[in-house]
Amino acid sequence: MIAGMTANVFRLVVDRRLTTESISAYNWMAENFVAADFIGVTASQSAGFSFEPTFPLYQKQALLDIKASIDRGVGAILWHDQFVICTGYDDGEQVLFICEIDIWEVCKESLIQAVYKWETHDYMLPPQNYACGPAAYAAIAAALQSGIYETDQAAKVLRYYANSRQDIAAYVAELEHLSNQMNHVVQEYALLADLYAQMIEKVEDSAAWDAKEPGHVLRVINLIKQAGETEQRAIDAIKQAFPETIGNRFEDIGLR
């Protein structure tokens, strides 16, 4: 659920040689900051034990930071049995006013960010070495066709993305109520997960996979191409589900 809400599960990046670094090739600091922001986690944190002699000092500082954020017009997110947004305060009564985070709005935004991640090449990665979104599928197919890849590393990359697409399918299945068009999104991601499952069956046939048997590799390539087409349809379905919100982003879907 968290992987879906932060939109991180929708990332698809591969090194053009299908090395295992594909899995972690992204701007960690920037993307994890944004991921935390999506689910209401602040970029700076303070914690401590109430029995420590210095606790009153950093408790006071935390309250000052919360009120300063509110004074700037930005709600502060804190823990109160769950993550909540503090929207106001009363010094006289010594209380903070909080409102709960709308989890379904967070989930809706994650789907819109999925479109952005699919259509935008990661600015940190040189395109001559890495491919993102739909180009990643073409890069996988090209690498497999060339035969210039390590079978164990390529298998690890494909397993990773197979697991992530299974997670996406489970995630979007919980969000069907967000739009009357979401059933198409659910269907396409379910199909995508199934295609990856078939792909992994081929990869797990270690003798044929490790030998790079031409017919065996060709079947994987065909599944890769089908997966790319299916994920494109899934993204198109998201656009159909939330046309007004995405349309209002104009040229920058990632802008919230």
CA 159: distance to chain centroid?
17
Q: Count of domains in the chain?
A: 2
The β-bridge relationship of strands 13-15 and 83-90 is: unpaired
- Global pTM reads 0.68
C-alpha closest to that of 4 among 134, 90, 117, 124: 117
94 and 143 together in one domain: no
**pLDDT reported for residue 83:** 62
**pLDDT reported for residue 255:** 62
| Longest CA span, the chain | 76
CB-CB contact of 130 with 142 (8 Å)? no
pLDDT in tens, 26-53: 777 777 777 877 887 765 555 567 888 9
160 and 195 together in one domain: yes
Exposed (0-12), middle (13-18) or buried (19+): which is 152, by Cβ within 10 Å?
A: exposed
Q: Residue 20 gets which letter from DSSP?
A: G
* Contacts (Cβ under 8 Å, ≥6 apart) of 152: 210
CA distances to 46, 85, 95, 148 from 79, rounded to whole Å, are 11, 9, 15, 50
Spatial distance between the Cα atoms of 113 and 5, rounded to a whole number of angstroms: 10
Spatial distance between the Cα atoms of 121 and 173, rounded to a whole number of angstroms: 27
74 and 174 together in one domain: no
112 and 69 together in one domain: no
Spatial distance between the Cα atoms of 119 and 79, rounded to a whole number of angstroms: 35
Could you tell me if residue 165 is inside a domain?
yes
CA distances to 57, 129, 244 from 52, rounded to whole Å, are 10, 51, 51
- List, for the chain, all residue ranges whose pLDDT scores fall below the cut of 70: 42-48, 81-83, 100-101, 250-256
136 and 152 together in one domain: yes
C-alpha closest to that of 115 among 246, 4, 2, 224: 246
**Domain membership of residue 80 as a residue range:** 55-100
Could you tell me if residue 35 is inside a domain?
no
Could you tell me if residue 220 is inside a domain?
yes
CATH code assigned at 146: 1.20.120
Spatial distance between the Cα atoms of 157 and 144, rounded to a whole number of angstroms: 13
pLDDT in tens, 79-89: 776 667 888 99
Phi and psi at residue 86, in whole multiples of 5°?
A: -90, 120
Exposed (0-12), middle (13-18) or buried (19+): which is 57, by Cβ within 10 Å?
A: exposed
Q: List the structure tokens of 101.
A: 């985070």
Spatial distance between the Cα atoms of 226 and 220, rounded to a whole number of angstroms: 10
Last residue of a domain, one of 67, 83, 100: 100
